[in-house]
Amino acid sequence: MFDLSPEQLALRDMAKKFADERFAPNAIDWDQRKHFPVDELREAAALGMGAIYVREESGGSGLSRLDAAVIFEALATGCPSTAAYLSIHNMVAWMIDRFGSPDLIARFVPKLASMEHLSSYCLTEPGAGSDAAALKTRARRDGNSSYLLDGVKQFISGAGAADVYLIMARTGGEGAGGVSAFLVEKGTPGLSFGANERKMGWNTQPTRQVIMENARVPADNLIGEEGHGFKIAMAGLDGGRLNIGACALGGGEAALAKALVYMRERKAFGRPIIDFQALQFRLADMAISLEAARSLLWRAAAALDAKTPDATRLCAMAKKIATDAGFNAANDALQMLGGYGYLADYGIEKIVRDLRVHQILEGTNEIMRLIVARELMA
């Protein structure tokens, strides 16, 4: 039987306690004010959640992808959008630790682990979403010591507030082989940001364009070698998909818990509505779907930890089923609360809005199906 170890259960309990105390009581207010809770994120980092699967010798917590999935699910019960930003930040820290030079690791990772510095991941462009290899942002050499970057990145979480931007830019020809990865620091001349996007959800984190106009970046800020950027991006996305799936499960679980509380209290036709078998079956379907998705997510995380050949396929499967299950559970919970579910004070409509984008980002769920189909046909 696949179950969590005592250490993983302790990690889950720690993250859940933090979410209950620091995220959940503030989530609705943060959403309505469009507030980015940097102080609370740094509190999470002080507990080791700023660089969960970064090596300890680099300043991280040295935990596994399965550990991370457990932590992000627990955090998302308090606020899915805040937990999701933390997951993106973790992905950036890991990519630097995994592919960066010793100098880059020493310069950037410790401050990312503490979240003294925040990070953003910049792959998507206005004309290159699912077809990420078609990106147009260009980096050209300017002497031996620097690159000049030009281009626009779209839908960037944390943009404007973050201190470090991991940017994919084209140094060579068309296609995946011409892409390289760079670290660009806030304050770099030529780096600017678009307006904060008005969004359906994810209002506890800013989302803006990242604009580069002859932004001069030191050559030492290249991650890995020229032409390796797309491989680096894809390696990061396997784990990123697990994280986003875990956050969706956490949001779905929180919505289910809110529905259970309400249905025990709400009466209709002389008895609590939880006594009606039709609604009991709906609750059961929600719980079954979340548990099934969690099982696949954990299997995919274990495969990624073990670096098995089917890890990418399993991560795509898990991301698809977990984000669908989480959103559907939240949407069903809203329906069970009736008109009250539509009100902000009950917290479920926020979860529905937050989780809808999980079916789009880190690769749309249609792209997840494409990945699986290609593997089946190989």
The DSSP annotation for 177-202 comes to GGEEEEEEETT-TTEEE-PPPP-SS-
Residue pointed to by tokens 């991650």: 223
| Of residues 15, 134, 157, the one with CA closest to residue 72 | 15
Among 40, 265, 362, 375, the one annotated catalytic:
362
CB within 8 A of 25, min separation 6: which ones? none
Sign of CA dihedral 3, 49, 297, 13: positive
Does residue 1 have a pLDDT over 50? no
pLDDT of residue 79: 98
Mean pLDDT along residues 286-305 = 98
218: amino acid identity, one letter: P
Cα gap 322→253, rounded to integer Å: 11
39 band by pLDDT with thresholds 50, 70 and 90: very high
Q: Pull the structure tokens for residue 218.
A: 């030191």
For this structure, is 197 an active site residue? Answer: no
Does residue 272 have a pLDDT over 60? yes
76: amino acid identity, one letter: A
Mean pLDDT along residues 26-40 = 98
Q: In angstroms, how far apart are the furthest CA atoms of the chain?
A: 80
Domains of the chain, start order: 6-113 (1.10.540.10), 119-226 (2.40.110.10), 230-377 (1.20.140.10)
pLDDT of residue 128: 83
Q: Residues 248, 76: contact at Cβ < 8 Å?
A: yes
130 band by pLDDT with thresholds 50, 70 and 90: confident
CB atoms within 10 A of CB 131: 10
Does residue 199 have a pLDDT over 70? yes
Q: Pull the structure tokens for residue 248.
A: 């969706």
pLDDT of residue 132: 78
Q: Residues 198, 167: contact at Cβ < 8 Å?
A: no
pLDDT tens per residue, range 307-321: 999 999 999 999 999
For helices 229-265 and 80-99, angle between their N-to-C axes, nearest 10 degrees: 160
C-alpha count within 13 angstroms, C-beta hemisphere, residue 183:
28
Sign of CA dihedral 179, 182, 186, 191: negative
Q: Pull the structure tokens for residue 337.
A: 């609360």
| Of residues 331, 310, 298, 315, the one with CA closest to residue 363 | 315
140 band by pLDDT with thresholds 50, 70 and 90: very high
pLDDT of residue 370: 96
| Of residues 152, 186, 191, 157, the one with CA closest to residue 169 | 152
Q: Residues 82, 74: contact at Cβ < 8 Å?
A: no
Does residue 209 have a pLDDT over 90? yes
Q: What is the mean pLDDT of the chain?
A: 96
Residue pointed to by tokens 């396997």: 238
| Of residues 94, 115, 113, 120, the one with CA closest to residue 38 | 115
pLDDT of residue 143: 87
Q: Are strands 119-122 and 164-170 parallel, antiparallel or unpaired?
A: parallel
Q: Residues 170, 135: contact at Cβ < 8 Å?
A: yes
pLDDT of residue 166: 98
Q: Residues 219, 171: contact at Cβ < 8 Å?
A: no
Cα gap 344→361, rounded to integer Å: 24
C-alpha to C-alpha distances, 158 to 2, 16, 122, 202, 284, nearest whole angstrom: 36, 23, 10, 11, 37
| Of residues 246, 242, 259, 224, the one with CA closest to residue 331 | 259
| 22-36, 120-134, 163-177, 349-363: the lowest-pLDDT one | 120-134
Mean pLDDT along residues 150-174 = 97
How would you class 24 by CB atoms within 10 Å of its CB: exposed for 0-12, middle for 13-18, buried for 19 or more? middle
223 band by pLDDT with thresholds 50, 70 and 90: very high
Does residue 197 have a pLDDT over 80? yes
pLDDT tens per residue, range 68-90: 999 999 999 999 999 999 999 99
218 pairs with which residues across the strands?
Answer: 146
Does residue 280 have a pLDDT over 90? yes
pLDDT of residue 236: 92
367: amino acid identity, one letter: I
